[in-house]
Amino acid sequence: MTLLLGCIADDFTGATDLANMLVRGGMRTIQTIGVPTAPLPDEVDAVVIALKSRTIAPADAVAQSLAALGWLKGQGCKQVYFKYCSTFDSTPKGNIGPVTEALMDAMGTDFTIACPAFPENGRTICRGYLFVGDVLLSESGMRNHPLTPMTDASLVRVMQAQTQRKVGLISYTTLDKGTEAVRQAIAKLRSEGTGVAIVDALADAHLDVIAESTADFALVTAGSGVGLGIANAHRRAGRLKHAATSAALPNVTGLSAVVSGSCSDMTNAQVAQWKASRPAFKLDPVALANSPAAVEDAIAWTKDQVASGPVLIYATATPDDVKAAQAELGVARAGAVVEEALAHVAKALVAAGVRKLIVAGGETSGAVVSALGVTALRIGPQIDPGVPWTVTLGGEPIALALKSGNFGTADFFAKALAQLEATR
């Protein structure tokens, strides 16, 4: 296996987002849940190791990231990519800065870039300031994030606050001049003792320039956007012989189901649309907390129904209903009770013959994947931006679509199942 790119992602759905980009660019990509313990198939251009390190203690994030790096180095991978969120989710303590520096130290490199831009999704960087759509990061909803409130849009300042090395900037005016100008800017920053450069990106063309000018870097750090530039660069250089079939998945046959624990607006709309014409079973967190029989009822219902067509089992609820459940059980318990129940349901579904499973919710996906003992996924075609079909590796293959929060259109569930059928 010639691993062109080895990625370390700081959360699960972020890892899928990057993997989806790489596949779109023509790289055959596998996502692993945590550091791989079993060998991976040979036919792969990129591996994305999904960690859960975004908001844990910096020392733990560093340790996990170094373990991932150790595995990637063992595979002889050509370039390492540290992937974080396009809204640069972090605090003055980290974890983007400390992990970046630990990787630089371990790889013996004195310079890297930081570029969370994802222009297609409205995340652009202009003179070092990160925009979410038309507003500065610090004016976006991210300023109120419960764990990583982003109250400063200047990425140079944000990165410098969590980094020992000097942080500099390569602005879009340089990117507009092309690869050679960016290489010169990098050489200049390096000679001045800068260790990390925030790089502007206003459009996909800038991502291509970034990828070309850092092609010989041991380490790049970025959101998922730069991944598309890197895949494009490898494809243009003729290194992706299987680009046309990079999204091909093995054939999976079996029953179909949807499990939803996301309470985002879009997931509420998706559940409502499904319920209007197809079978669905609602789980109530308070009932689940009060009686273990509640989940058994759901399982009995699904076993009864699923043989005759796809079913939905959901805890998805409106903000008022979520608040009511949280008031009764506490926020953490309400979440945990639902995640545990849906994980249990997912296991029962697979035992009943389900092999095509859609999961809505980032945390919910984590709980389901861990209950099913999934350790690696081959990434397939995109269903909607950020959400590809995948197939589990090791054990009996299951087609999984893991959809977080507000991703996907209102008809996502039926559309995703139809797309899978269409490729058969």
Do 409 and 269 touch, CB atoms closer than 8 A?
Answer: no
**Cβ 112 to ligand ADP, closest distance in Å?**
30
Least distance in angstroms from the C-beta of 14 to ligand ADP: 12
Cβ-Cβ contacts under 8 Å for 152 (sequence gap 6 or more): 137, 138, 158
- Find the shortest distance in angstroms from Cβ 31 to ligand ADP: 17
Q: Is 387 in the site for ligand ADP (CB under 6 A)?
A: no
CB of 360 to ligand ADP, least distance (A): 7
Among 326, 370, 382, 419, which residue sits at the site for ligand ADP (rule: CB under 6 A)? 326
Contact between 142 and 87 (Cβ < 8 Å): yes
Give whichever of 102 and 322 is closer to ligand ADP, judged by the CB atom. 322
Binding mask 260-299 for ligand ADP (x = CB under 6 A): -xxxx--x-----------------x--------------
Cα–Cα distance measured from residue 206 to residue 216, given in angstroms and rounded to the nearest whole number: 17
Q: Which is nearer to ligand ADP, 231 or 322 (CB)?
A: 322
Report how far residue 320's alpha carbon sits from residue 198's, in angstroms, rounded to the nearest whole number: 41
Spatial contact of 202 and 119, defined as CB atoms under 8 Å apart: yes
DSSP secondary structure string, 23-80? HHTT--EEEEESS--SPPPSS-SEEEEE---SSS-HHHHHHHHHHHHHHHHHTT-SEE
**195 binds ligand ADP per the rule CB under 6 A:** no
Say how far residue 217 (Cα) sits from the centre of its chain: 23
- Cβ-closest residue to ligand ADP? 361
- By CB under 6 A, residue 89 contacts ligand ADP: no
Report phi then psi at 339, rounded to 5: -60, -45
Cα–Cα distance for residue pair 319/316, rounded to 1 Å: 10
Peptide bond into 95 cis (omega under 30): yes
Residues 6+ positions from 424 with CB-CB distance below 8 Å: 251
The only residue of 174, 256, 339, 377 in contact with ligand ADP, by rule CB under 6 A: 339
Stretch near ligand ADP under the rule CB under 6 A, chosen from 158-166, 168-176, 179-187, 331-339: 331-339
* Closest to 283 measured CA to CA, from 241, 312, 320, 249: 312
Which range binds ligand ADP by CB under 6 A, 59-67, 228-236, 238-246, 259-267? 259-267
State yes or no: residue 335 binds ligand ADP (CB under 6 A): yes
16 near ligand ADP, judged by CB under 6 A: no
Nearest distance in Å: CB 110, ligand ADP: 38
CB of 318 to ligand ADP, least distance (A): 9
Q: Residue 241 contacts by C-beta under 8 Å, 6 or more apart in sequence? A: none
Q: How far is the CB of 374 from ligand ADP (least distance, A)?
A: 16
d(CA 281, CA 257): 11
Contact 330, 276 (CB under 8 A): no
Q: Is 364 in the site for ligand ADP (CB under 6 A)?
A: yes
Question: Which lies closer to ligand ADP via its Cβ, residue 289 or residue 348?
Answer: 289
Find the part of the chain contacting ligand ADP (CB under 6 A) among 23-31, 106-114, 194-202, 356-364: 356-364
Measured CA to CA, the distance from residue 57 to residue 94 in angstroms comes to: 8
Span near ligand ADP by CB under 6 A; candidates 3-11, 98-106, 204-212, 255-263: 255-263
The least distance separating ligand ADP from the CB of residue 340, rounded to whole angstroms, comes to 8
Question: 201 or 341, CB closer to ligand ADP?
Answer: 341
Residue closer to ligand ADP by CB (options 36, 285) is 285
Nearer to ligand ADP, 291 or 423 (CB): 291
- Provide Rg for the chain, Cα atoms: 22
Q: Which is nearer to ligand ADP, 101 or 363 (CB)?
A: 363
Yes or no: say if 298 and 345 are a contact pair by the CB < 8 Å rule: yes
Q: Does 322 bind ligand ADP (CB under 6 A)?
A: yes
Helix axes 204-213, 225-236, angle to 10 degrees: 60
By CB under 6 A, residue 408 contacts ligand ADP:
no
Q: Does 346 bind ligand ADP (CB under 6 A)?
A: no
Residues lying near ligand ADP in the complex (CB under 6 A) are found at: 261-264, 267, 285, 315, 317, 321-322, 325-326, 334-335, 338-339, 361-364, 404-405
